[in-house]
A and B are shown apart, each in its own frame.
Chain A
Amino acid sequence: GEDVEQSLFLSVREGDSSVINCTYTDSSSTYLYWYKQEPGAGLQLLTYIFSNMDMKQDQRLTVLLNKKDKHLSLRIADTQTGDSAIYFCADVPLDTGRRALTFGSGTRLQVQP
């Protein structure tokens, strides 16, 4: 089946850059997504990247995709305390027949002042 793997925890200081990594197994994924979840809340779509792109930048967010290694990363520049949350990567594993997002277990980002 499809697996999406993430490291569990990342701690950075305010103002530093954060890099959250994700690996996935399904090579048929057309789009890959990053979501943010704050405590007790639903998921907020941050950004996504089309699989034929290597990089996408959106203000403080940079997504890098290495399709050969099936590796996705999210870089947050100038990390702020308000960025503290859980970040999920997700894809749609078309090879499995699934037409809905499959999520990793999330990376908890802690930003220290």
Chain B
Amino acid sequence: DTGVSQDPRHKITKRGQNVTFRCDPISEHNRLYWYRQTLGQGPEFLTYFQNEAQLEKSRLLSDRFSAERPKGSFSTLEIQRTEQGDSAMYLCASSLVTAGNTEAFFGQGTRLTVV
């Protein structure tokens, strides 16, 4: 399977714990995006990378959230001191941006439940 893969698919954690999610993009894609989706809403942009550089972070990305893409391949999203409001689906996408077309392909997501 050469699509975007995310791990784990589901995560249940206690409030206050740290969690880390991983995303493996499509191999030749230069951009990688993280989104958060809550029930009944569209995906909300969190951050994106062009190769290994983090180029934009949303206001939604509080200082408890950090994302990395150390070698321009896979990426990790860490949430420290989780809160119940962090419960959501975390989606990763990747794209090969050509001539302005940001055709992004999504992974299946990691569903986080904070109890």
Contacts and interface: CB of A to CB of B under 8 A. Distances in A.
Contacts of A105: 40-42
Contacts of B107: 42
Interface residues of A, number: 25
A90 B109 CA distance: 18
A88 interface: yes
Interface stretch (B11-19, B65-73, B80-88, B96-104): B96-104
Interface string A79-108: 000000000101010000111111111100
A103 B4 CA distance: 19
Interface residues on B, range: 20 to 34
B102 A45 contact: no
Contact of B106 (A31, A44, A104, A106): A44
Interface string B11-47: 0000000000000000000000100000011111100
Interface of A: 4, 30-31, 33, 35, 41-45, 48, 50, 88, 90, 92, 97-106
Given A43-B43, A99-B102, 5 more contacts: A41-B109, A42-B4, A44-B106, A99-B55, A100-B48
19 contacts: A31-B103, A42-B91, A42-B106, A42-B108, A44-B106, A45-B103, A45-B104, A88-B43, A92-B100, A97-B56, A98-B56, A100-B48, A100-B102, A100-B104, A101-B102, A102-B45, A105-B40, A106-B40, A106-B41
